[in-house]
Amino acid sequence: MGRLDGKVAIVTGGASGIGRAAVERFVAEGARVIVGDTDSEGIGALIGQLGHNSIDGAEVDVRDEAAVERMVNQAIRRFGRLDIAVNNAGVGGFSPIQDYPLEDWDRVLGISLTGTFLCLKHEAKRLIAQGTGGSIINIASLNAIQATEGFAAYCAAKAGVTMLTKVAALELGRHKIRVNAVGPGLVHTPATAGMLAIPGLEDAFIHEAPIGRAGEPEDIANLLTYLASDESSLMTAQTLYIDGGASVNKYPELFGFFGVG
């Protein structure tokens, strides 16, 4: 018996990294999943791996409200209901504030914060109409609470996600819809491969993390499974940091690693 038997989930950014690990784990626990992503090839590969009975793909840019609404409707059309949503699609960027291009700022905020809001909005609307409660999980970051050189847009977006999570939990609790967030530290995914290739950067992160290692997508999927399941039925409005304890220290000084004077 799986921990998510009979449940239907949406995972955005589900074609890669943390989202992909969540899709794999949710299916292993008995859920059926809509994978929402801009990467149609990645979605196709995942459907090839897990089979079309358990997952379906929605090509969606989370900044596009009409596409987000279609993704939510697809969960109902294909699998008959909605119980869980992981709003995971997000991107970062690096620039000193005085040089930060507005276009890059808008991209980071648009995908990581506004995209999360649009998904949350349409998932909440659907779950309220369905009347059976549900669990919505937004992906924040250690950078929601840990200031990091060069990450002005990303830190602001993820801090926004944690407060959005609290407001949503406050409003939606009356409908038995729980809203939590997860704040990973540094995790090995395609998104961080470039950054982690900079000599010494991973060691610098590990030095600040009492557990002494970076994360794997499966570490985050374990926590997401708990938050998605009924085991966490009393938990809402929280951001749970899963970072090897790095939040008690400081983030590595990235200007040095990125050659900013």
251 catalytic? Reply is no
Minimum distance from residue 22 beta carbon to ligand NAD (Å): 9
Minimum distance from residue 56 beta carbon to ligand NAD (Å): 15
Q: Which of residues 33-52 bind ligand NAD (CB under 6 A)?
A: 37-39, 42
Minimum distance from residue 250 beta carbon to ligand NAD (Å): 16
Interaction between residue 190 and ligand NAD (CB under 6 A): yes
Q: For tokens 């507005």, name the residue.
A: 102
Which of 50, 128, 191, 204 is close enough to bind ligand NAD by CB under 6 A? Answer: 191
Structure tokens at 117: 């809001």
Q: How many residues does the chain have?
A: 261
Residue 183's SS3 state is strand
Rg (CA), the chain: 18
Looking at residue 95, the DSSP 8-state letter turns out to be B
Interaction between residue 13 and ligand NAD (CB under 6 A): yes
Which of 111, 169, 179, 246 is close enough to bind ligand NAD by CB under 6 A? Answer: 111
Output phi, psi for 95, to 5 deg: -170, 140
Interface map 196-235 toward ligand NAD (x if CB under 6 A) = ----------------------------------------
Considering beta carbons, is residue 76 or 191 the nearer one to ligand NAD? Answer: 191
Interaction between residue 62 and ligand NAD (CB under 6 A): yes
Which of 10, 17, 137, 252 is close enough to bind ligand NAD by CB under 6 A? Answer: 17
Interaction between residue 179 and ligand NAD (CB under 6 A): no
Buried b (16+ CB within 10 A) or exposed e, 204-230: bbbebbeeeebbebebbbebbbbbbbe
Buried b (16+ CB within 10 A) or exposed e, 13-45: bbbbbbbbbbbbbbbebebbbbbbbbbeebbee
- CA 254/CA 257 separation, integer angstroms: 5
Q: Where are the alpha helices (DSSP H) in 84-235?
A: 102-109, 115-130, 152-172, 190-196, 201-208, 217-228
Interaction between residue 180 and ligand NAD (CB under 6 A): no
Binding range to ligand NAD, per CB under 6 A, among 58-66, 77-85, 119-127, 203-211: 58-66
Considering beta carbons, is residue 2 or 69 the nearer one to ligand NAD? Answer: 69
Whether the Cβ atoms of residue 185 and residue 142 lie closer than 8 Å to each other = yes
Minimum distance from residue 188 beta carbon to ligand NAD (Å): 7
Kindly list the catalytic residues: 154
Residues of the shown chain interacting with ligand NAD in the complex, contacts defined by CB under 6 A = 12-13, 15-19, 37-39, 42, 60-63, 88-92, 111-112, 115, 139, 141, 184, 186-187, 189-192
